[in-house]
Structure 1
Amino acid sequence: MSGPPPPPGPQPRDESLSRRRELASLLGPTRAAVLLIVADRPGSTTNALAEGVGVSAATVSHHTTVLRRSGLITTRRSGGSVHHCLASLGEVLLRGVGEAGRNA
């Protein structure tokens, strides 16, 4: 077996399969997919993330709460929408995963 499958949903253009798998093994496939989409599309709403990952908005809301409490993303409310952006720690994590993939 070659490790966990890539996260569900569309993948950012510049992410390698091995990087997605490494991140999914750390965070879980859905949370990894959410984090990668937020990194690729800052300001994504909960509904846009749900559509991109292929899960319900409630499921995405749960995952974004965990990512926010972990310091990987930030969120802000604007009217009835919640927008998500990558936090500094999230940037460091993604950079580190990318470096690990190149050094493997």
Structure 2
Amino acid sequence: MTEECRVCVDAGVCKMKTLITARDNGMGLIEIDIKSDCPNVLKMSWKLEPMSPYAEVEAEFSKSSVYKLADEAIPHTACPVPAGIIKALEVAGDLGLKRDSSIRFLQEGEEVDIS
């Protein structure tokens, strides 16, 4: 069992920030606590129940509890918060390592080495 995992998601142009805390409840389920500037993310968080990290991380997008709740509450599909919730759940469930991820816009002519 890992200690709690905390993730901060800066959603970008809307300037809304979300703090996600995921922790094992000792019964194999992960509890998610969310603090956010975004009323839509908060609306989603009210329905989050403890969940199995295995079932959620391995679920198809359309069957993920997190993405189903996001579909009901968040009007903007480009919102990165649901992915942040899944990443926190994955780490808190000992299924992944803590490593930052990002989306970065490239300048015209900028190259990226993908090897």
TM-score interval, normalised by the smaller of the two chains: under 0.3
Query: TM-score scaled by structure 1?
Result: 0.26
State the structure with bigger RCO (CA 8 A, min sep 6), 1 or 2: 2
Query: TM-score scaled by structure 2?
Result: 0.25
